[in-house]
Structure 1
């Protein structure tokens, strides 16, 4: 139990540092258009802002308005480009697709997001 609590504290600290870095980079002040390249870690905004809704160890819940604002601001295109196998070990790609759709920014079937391919709609 103590080990899990300590791990959670380190994860929270890491997320706080990443958010601070994103703020220092001025990323939060710019809303990218679809044409913008995503080379400045914009995609991390969605992962960090929606983490409580996409973690594998959490129940699937509708996303908060704040999470949806991160998706609107940073775009799923940028998010999908930065997802690695290591990130996929922590987050549920199915939940990420669900959250994007729930926020009004669905990923098209066949879209590659990390190594995950969005399945056809049911």
Structure 2
């Protein structure tokens, strides 16, 4: 059980801490991008974050808490896009998922900066 809900400002600060990460609107959500590619979106009103994981990572992260971490419905979810409920997820699990998503999206040289260390 998470100690507290992860706040939108905390998600924003962490997501923007990666090299070349920028924030841009994405329909009614906020997106976090690296070199124009989305690695996460946040819907502040729904208190959710969507990240881009590999199908294997998605299975692992969902295994820790499948009520708060689960595939996005439809084809996007089958490709690894994963919904995370900010009201029910452990902070460290969320941050690890965002970090994995950045690594999956960023160019290789940028992704390698976060392969073995905390951000």
| TM-score, normalising length: structure 2 | 0.32
Higher gyration radius (CA): 1
Which structure is higher in RCO with an 8 Å CA cutoff and minimum separation 6? Answer: 2
TM superposition score normalised by structure 1: 0.32
